[in-house]
């Protein structure tokens, strides 16, 4: 029986996409992986369904398609239902059907990612039924080829997922994403967003912060943005009515983390505007809290007109009546994920009305940072590959250090004194508070009782242009200690991470330094409460840097007082390493502690210059038994405790452990060197790490050294620290190691 084909007519750009996919998967000289960047609203599911149908009819009927979908939102069932509807003659099944019956030629199996990747799943466990891998093997023996479609993979690109994908040994792997980027390892093509707009499927453009003016003074973020959004919603609703359309525009209110106090404040604001859960105008969709979600939420005449959500609603959720997005902040540093805009770009009737009010969508937010999307690991230039340890390395052990939780470091008073002394020295501060204020202001510090912000504004046709925009208005909020208390605490929390102290203690230190009242000793400024709040919020990034610099000052490694906990380190039996698949003239590094470790794991794409040169150097030496590349963080890796200038403990993970053939053990840390006379090292704690490393190596009678590069040559220092590589303590690596 000849399949009648797709039951609907495709737009020209969709037909061209299908032809492109057929071309890329039917010719033997094409790359295995095809990446299709498809804007939200372009009808990628319909494109893929038509592609599958045409491939089976015109290229190869002995192919089985595997369609992998995100685990949230039942997208695999939605996609399967669409295939049943539009090409009813094609065989479809889910994972459990496949486990029972296998993968037949001509079939399309829709699989929820979480069924095969989530911890504790039973889909790939040996049991009475033949498991997934057995069914794949059966299909291969019958001569069935696989093509895999990976739909919006970003949140499920894990090692376990890769193992499953690899097991299919697919002829082609097709990855589809709205946020894909071009990669030379893959075939790549993009559906032009302008074509999707021209077809009437998505809005002609989007407005960001329409109605906001420069130097705007606002009282409350939530009040201001929600008022703007509601005014726009009413205008759109009225226009729909005037052209006799029964469409109720929906406002999406997005919270970055969904903190209870933020949600409660918004709910209270909406109630004052006449919208509540009780009258059906408000719904909530959060992973842990779904409230008053009607069955017709996504229909054009759905009742709720405000939907509260946390982060982006799950992939695949379509609600064409959603026209307005309000992105609220719960701190000062959240990023706006551009992909979220896709939720409001669809046209409710897949056509334009030739009315800008209805043919545009609207975003209201005071976010200052915009990210183009959560790009999948598949779009990175490197891969993560698992390697296995050689037998000769399995018995090696070394004593590693972990933090002593009973060692608290310097007290609050000592930390205050160090920060005070550092600021006095850096800016020439004294007892004259007015003069101190002038000096700090001249170096970029902001003063006053207003919180200064920046709001992006403008009209954008292409969604990704939002992340590239630089058109900002300045916003001003007069400090309200009740409303802005959380913002201030967020900033204090951000600052405290640089010195590893409790938030309350850091807040006390900042008050002692800059706020009126209390002990006059160590007081640099006399700011009133509102000025203090504004000072911390407006200058958060500067204060973080000040605290970071203080901790980086050389600390006396307190070997007498500090007694790190000890444990035994074993090299992990298996580990993941970044791999550069574009490496040229790949050769195996026989000196590596892991099987099949090659030059592809030591290119400039995945290693620093000093790391790359060090591994190349070791591979050429005859006296090296093996080289182990340590991890950067994690309990399974080798670590040494060091302390900063405030006597707080941190873990330092040396880069390499080297066993020489005579049994001597070297521990090597690589750092950025010098280039064109400029220091490339970016680690402010380098000296503290060096000194702790020196003490550890002496206690354990180990060989050690810091290695840095200069003019493509390596130099080592294991005596006295010096940042300047012209110092005599930096010696050519081959003279010592």
Overall residue count recorded for the chain in this entry: 737
Residues 686 and 723: beta-carbon distance below 8 Å? yes
Q: Where in the chain is CATH 3.40.1350?
A: 384-404+561-735
Topology of domain 384-404+561-735, per CATH? Trna Endonuclease; Chain: A, domain 1 (3.40.1350)
Which of 241-245, 327-331, 590-594 is the least confident region? 327-331
Q: How high is the mean pLDDT of the chain?
A: 86
β-strands 306-310, 250-255 pairing: parallel
Name the strand (E) or helix (H) holding 158.
none
Q: CA-to-CA distance for 131 and 575, rounded, in angstroms? A: 26
Burial of 723 (0-12, 13-18, 19+ CB in 10 A): middle
pLDDT tens digits along 527-574: 999 999 999 999 999 998 898 888 766 555 544 456 778 899 999 999
3-state secondary structure of 616: helix
For residue 294, give both structure tokens.
Answer: 């009607």
| Whether the model pTM is above 0.85 | no
CATH 3.40.50.300 domain locations along the chain: 12-198, 205-371
CATH T-level fold of 205-371: Rossmann fold (3.40.50)
* pLDDT, tens only, 595-612: 999 999 999 888 999 999
pLDDT of 378 reads 45
pLDDT at 124: 58
Distance set, CA 553 to CA 303, 429, 497, 678 (Å): 61, 19, 17, 21
Burial class (CB in 10 A: 0-12, 13-18, 19+), 479: buried
> Cα 362 to the chain's mean position, in Å?
25
pLDDT at 717 over 90: yes
Note the pLDDT tens digit of each residue in 644-693: 777 778 888 999 999 999 999 999 999 888 877 777 877 778 888 898 88
How does residue 123 score in pLDDT terms, banded at 50, 70 and 90? low
The residues with which 570 forms a beta bridge, in sequence order, are 397
Mean pLDDT of 414-442: 92
pLDDT at 161 > cutoff 90: no
Is 516 a residue whose pLDDT tops 50? Answer: yes
Question: Could you give the C-alpha distances from 705 to 473, 689, 720, 733, 737, in angstroms and in order?
Answer: 51, 11, 11, 10, 9
Output the six-digit token pair for 142: 């019958």
SS3 70: coil
Q: Which of 3.90.1150.10, 3.40.1190.20, 3.40.50.300, 1.10.3080.10 would CATH assign to domain 12-198?
A: 3.40.50.300
Phi, psi of 238 (to 5 degrees): -65, -40
pLDDT at 130 exceeding the cut of 90: no
Cα maximum dimension of the chain: 93
Q: What percent of the chain has pLDDT over 70?
A: 89
**Lowest pLDDT segment from 10-19, 185-194, 472-481, 484-493:** 484-493
DSSP string, 343-369: GG-B-TTSS--S-HHHHEEEEEE---E
User: pLDDT per residue over 692-711, tens digit each?
Assistant: 889 889 888 899 999 999 98
33-37 and 187-190 strand pairing: parallel
What span, in angstroms and rounded, lies between the C-alpha atoms of 210 and 226? Answer: 13
| Tokens 């500090």 found at | 562
Residue 196 pLDDT > 90: yes
């Amino acid at each position: 029986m000849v399949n009648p084909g797709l039951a609907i007519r495709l737009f020209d750009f969709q037909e061209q996409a299908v032809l492109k996919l057929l071309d890329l998967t039917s010719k033997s000289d094409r790359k295995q992986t095809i990446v299709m960047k498809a804007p939200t609203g372009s009808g990628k599911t319909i494109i893929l369904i038509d592609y599958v149908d045409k491939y089976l009819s015109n290229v190869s009927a002995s192919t089985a398609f595997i369609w992998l979908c995100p685990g949230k939102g039942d997208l695999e069932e939605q996609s399967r239902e669409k295939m049943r509807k539009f090409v009813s003659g094609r065989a479809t099944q889910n994972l459990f059907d496949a486990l029972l019956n296998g993968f037949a030629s001509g079939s399309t199996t829709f699989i929820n990612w979480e069924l095969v990747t989530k911890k504790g799943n039973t889909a790939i466990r040996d049991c009475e039924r033949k498991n997934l891998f057995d069914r794949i093997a059966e299909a291969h023996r019958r001569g069935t080829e696989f093509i895999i479609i990976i739909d919006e993979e970003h949140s499920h690109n894990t090692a376990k997922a890769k193992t499953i994908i690899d097991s299919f040994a697919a002829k082609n792997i097709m990855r589809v994403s709205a946020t894909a980027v071009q990669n030379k390892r893959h075939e790549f093509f993009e559906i032009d967003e302008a074509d999707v707009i021209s077809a009437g499927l998505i809005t002609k453009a989007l407005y960001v912060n329409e109605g906001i003016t420069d130097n705007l003074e606002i009282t409350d973020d939530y009040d201001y943005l929600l008022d703007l959004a509601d005014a726009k919603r009413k205008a759109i609703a009225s226009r729909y009515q005037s052209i006799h359309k029964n469409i109720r525009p929906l406002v999406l209110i997005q919270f970055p983390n969904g903190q209870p106090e933020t949600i409660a404040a918004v709910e209270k604001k909406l109630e004052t505007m006449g919208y509540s859960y009780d009258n059906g105008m408000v719904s909530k969709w959060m992973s842990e809290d779904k409230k008053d979600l009607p069955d017709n939420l996504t229909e054009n005449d759905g009742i709720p007109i405000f939907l509260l959500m946390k982060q982006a609603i799950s992939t695949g959720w379509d609600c064409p009546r959603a026209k307005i997005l309000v992105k609220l902040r719960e701190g000062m540093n959240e990023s706006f994920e551009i992909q979220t805009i896709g939720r409001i770009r669809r046209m409710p009737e897949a056509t334009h009305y030739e009315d800008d009010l209805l043919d545009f969508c609207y975003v209201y937010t005071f976010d200052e940072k915009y990210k183009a999307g959560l790009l999948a690991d598949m779009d990175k230039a490197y891969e993560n590959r698992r390697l296995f340890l050689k037998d000769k390395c399995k018995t090696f052990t070394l004593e590693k250090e972990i933090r002593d939780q009973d060692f608290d470091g310097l007290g609050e008073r000592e930390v205050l004194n160090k920060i005070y002394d550092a600021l006095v020295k850096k800016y020439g501060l004294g007892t004259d508070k007015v003069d101190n204020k002038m000096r700090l202001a001249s170096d970029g510090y902001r003063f006053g009782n207003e919180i200064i912000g920046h709001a992006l504004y403008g009209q954008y046709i292409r969604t990704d242009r939002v992340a590239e925009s630089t058109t900002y208005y300045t916003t001003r909020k007069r400090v309200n200690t009740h409303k802005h208390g959380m913002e201030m605490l967020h900033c204090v929390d951000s600052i405290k991470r640089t010195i590893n102290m409790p938030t309350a203690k850091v807040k006390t230190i900042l008050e002692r330094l800059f706020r009126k009242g209390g002990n006059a000793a160590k007081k640099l400024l006399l700011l009133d409460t509102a000025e203090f709040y504004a000072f911390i919020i407006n200058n958060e990034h500067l204060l973080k840097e000040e605290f970071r610099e203080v901790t980086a000052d050389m600390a006396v490694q307190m070997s007498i007082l500090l007694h790190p906990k000890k444990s035994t380190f074993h090299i992990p039996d298996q580990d993941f390493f970044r791999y550069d698949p574009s490496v040229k003239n790949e050769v195996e590094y026989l000196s590596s502690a892991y099987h099949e470790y090659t030059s592809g794991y030591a290119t400039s794409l995945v290693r620093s210059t000093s790391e790359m040169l060090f591994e190349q150097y070791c591979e050429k030496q005859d006296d090296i038994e093996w080289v182990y590349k340590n991890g950067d963080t994690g309990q399974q890796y080798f670590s040494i405790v060091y302390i900063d200038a405030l006597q707080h403990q941190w873990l330092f993970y040396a880069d390499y452990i080297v066993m020489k053939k005579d049994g001597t053990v070297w521990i090597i840390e690589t750092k950025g060197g010098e280039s064109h006379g400029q220091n490339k090292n970016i680690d402010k704690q380098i000296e503290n790490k060096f000194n702790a490393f020196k003490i550890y190596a002496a206690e354990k009678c180990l060989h050690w050294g810091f290695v840095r590069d200069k003019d493509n040559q390596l130099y080592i220092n294991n005596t006295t620290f010096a940042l300047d590589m012209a110092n005599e303590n930096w010696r050519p690596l081959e003279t010592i190691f």
